[in-house]
């Protein structure tokens, strides 16, 4: 419920944030983009320290504090009058979001007990549904297009952070797990298999802006498909993820299954990218059919990719340092998302059909590493887990 409420609020705000800052506040789009980019980069700094704090002080406490800060920061957006103030407030929000995201990952492990990847897959179903509902609400506010309507969106998102924090009171206050003696403080940064997986997961994360950014531009500028297919892309993607995330995710709840799922995701993207490319060379209804089929296949790949991320991300991280590891994984993913727009628009839109083929091959190559990466990671776990068990028994 906490995740669902929080994502409804995100859907309310994220869909209309740019319009509020440009149309209501009156900031130039370039300044809005610069402020949010600066804030996003600053926020990355809190991911690993926030996760480490969650490991040592308890994930619920850290997540609730982060949500409280986000609620205050969101409310403060109503006083924004310049890009500098926007950058400062957004930076505070992003710092709290990064720390809270790492703590949330650690909390998922504690609540999900022996099957955290499956629990995370179930959560993602509710998360997707919450975003969809929030986006619908934002659509009504944008249609009204007044300062009051946008103010309601902002306060609604702030309230969602506060309500999310209150709902977490219903969870146990999980205590920190003991760390092995003489363990390095920043253990995640020295775990080479996990650092490698973080880089690959960030690279595979380029597939998300394909749906939200690249494909809408491709449809409108390079195909004869009806313009309603732009809206259909998001609807189909959300629908497939809501309906199939838990069903597919239930099969991917071990690191070994995660490695195979990562490879499967890459192959599905290898199939969907050429279909998207072919839509530019097809007549109207054939182009629409190709886009719909491509986004269905791509959505399946997204589910397998996210399920692989849950299984490997939780399965390769030691229990006593889940927050720090999830912070590192979130850092890699966010870095990939920050680079994605420039990479995708330059390579794919610049090269056209060839760019789509290169993108599909890239995803397949990244995914192919999944099984061997899992084997490498699993080989390095027994020593760490044995150390943790010894420390626990000693206490």
Q: So what's the pLDDT on residue 105?
A: 87
Q: Which of the four pLDDT bands, split at 50, 70 and 90, describes residue 230?
A: confident
Q: So what's the pLDDT on residue 181?
A: 72
Q: Do domains 2-170 and 187-394 have the same CATH topology?
A: yes
pLDDT of 395 over the 60 cut: no
pLDDT of 59 over the 50 cut: yes
Give me the CATH topology for the region 187-394: Growth Hormone; Chain: A; (1.20.1250)
Q: Which of the four pLDDT bands, split at 50, 70 and 90, describes residue 293?
A: very high
Q: So what's the pLDDT on residue 234?
A: 80
pLDDT of 394 over the 70 cut: no
Q: So what's the pLDDT on residue 382?
A: 55
Q: So what's the pLDDT on residue 4?
A: 92
CA–CA distance, 9 with 337 (Å, rounded to integer): 21
Range picked from 5-14, 233-242, 265-274 for highest mean pLDDT: 265-274
Mean pLDDT of the chain: 87
pLDDT of 269 over the 90 cut: yes
pLDDT of 255 over the 90 cut: yes
Give the model confidence (pLDDT) of 80-139 as tens digits: 888 899 999 999 999 999 999 899 989 988 888 878 888 888 888 888 888 888 878 877
CA–CA distance, 161 with 64 (Å, rounded to integer): 9
pLDDT of 300 over the 60 cut: yes
Range picked from 16-20, 117-121, 275-279 for highest mean pLDDT: 275-279
Q: So what's the pLDDT on residue 222?
A: 87
Q: So what's the pLDDT on residue 123?
A: 87
Q: So what's the pLDDT on residue 257?
A: 94
pLDDT of 392 over the 80 cut: no
pLDDT of 356 over the 80 cut: yes
Q: Which of the four pLDDT bands, split at 50, 70 and 90, describes residue 145?
A: confident
Across the range 144-155, mean pLDDT stands at 86
Q: So what's the pLDDT on residue 338?
A: 83
CATH number of 2-170: 1.20.1250.20
Is 3 within 8 Å of 245 (Cβ atoms)?
no
Give the model confidence (pLDDT) of 305-342 as tens digits: 999 999 999 999 888 888 999 999 999 998 888 888 88
Better-predicted residue by pLDDT, 218 or 132 = 218
Residue extents of the structural domains in the chain: 2-170, 187-394
Percent with pLDDT over 90 in the chain: 43
pLDDT of 358 over the 90 cut: yes
């Amino acid at each position: 419920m906490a995740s669902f409420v929080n994502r409804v609020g995100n859907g309310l705000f994220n869909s209309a944030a740019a319009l509020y800052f440009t149309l209501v506040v009156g900031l130039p789009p370039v300044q809005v983009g610069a402020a949010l980019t600066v804030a996003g980069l600053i926020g990355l700094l809190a991911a690993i320290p926030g996760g480490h704090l969650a490991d040592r002080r308890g994930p619920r406490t850290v997540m609730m504090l982060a949500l409280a800060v986000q609620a205050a920061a969101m409310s403060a957006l109503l006083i924004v009058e310049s890009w500098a103030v926007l950058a400062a407030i957004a930076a505070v929000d992003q710092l709290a979001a990064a720390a809270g995201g790492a703590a949330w990952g650690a909390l998922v492990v504690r609540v999900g007990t022996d099957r955290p990847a499956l629990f995370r897959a179930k959560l993602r179903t509710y998360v997707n549904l919450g975003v969809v509902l929030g986006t619908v609400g934002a659509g009504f506010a944008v249609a009204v297009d007044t300062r009051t309507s946008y103010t309601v969106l902002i306060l609604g998102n702030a309230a969602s952070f506060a309500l999310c924090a209150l709902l977490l009171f219903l969870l146990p206050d999980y205590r920190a797990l003991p760390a092995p003696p003489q363990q390095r403080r920043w253990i995640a940064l020295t775990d080479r298999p996990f650092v490698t997986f973080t880089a690959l997961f960030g690279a595979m994360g380029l597939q998300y802006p394909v749906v939200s950014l690249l494909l809408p531009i491709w449809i409108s500028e390079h195909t004869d498909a009806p313009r309603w297919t732009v809206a259909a892309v998001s609807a189909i993607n959300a629908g497939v993820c809501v309906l199939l995330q838990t069903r597919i995710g239930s099969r991917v709840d071990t690191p070994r299954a995660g490695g195979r799922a990562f490879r499967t995701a890459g192959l599905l993207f290898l199939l969907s990218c050429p279909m998207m490319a072919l839509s530019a060379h097809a007549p109207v209804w054939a182009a629409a059919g190709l886009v719909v089929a491509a986004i269905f296949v791509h959505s399946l790949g997204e589910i397998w990719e996210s399920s692989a991320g849950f299984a490997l991300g939780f399965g390769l991280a030691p229990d006593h340092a889940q927050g720090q590891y999830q912070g590192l994984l979130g850092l890699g993913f966010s870095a990939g998302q920050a680079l994605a727009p420039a990479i995708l628009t330059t390579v794919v839109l610049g090269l056209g059909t060839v760019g789509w083929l290169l993108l599909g091959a890239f995803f397949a190559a990244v995914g192919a590493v999944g099984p061997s990466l899992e084997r490498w990671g699993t080989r390095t776990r027994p020593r760490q887990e044995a150390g943790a068990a010894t420390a626990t028994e000693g206490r």
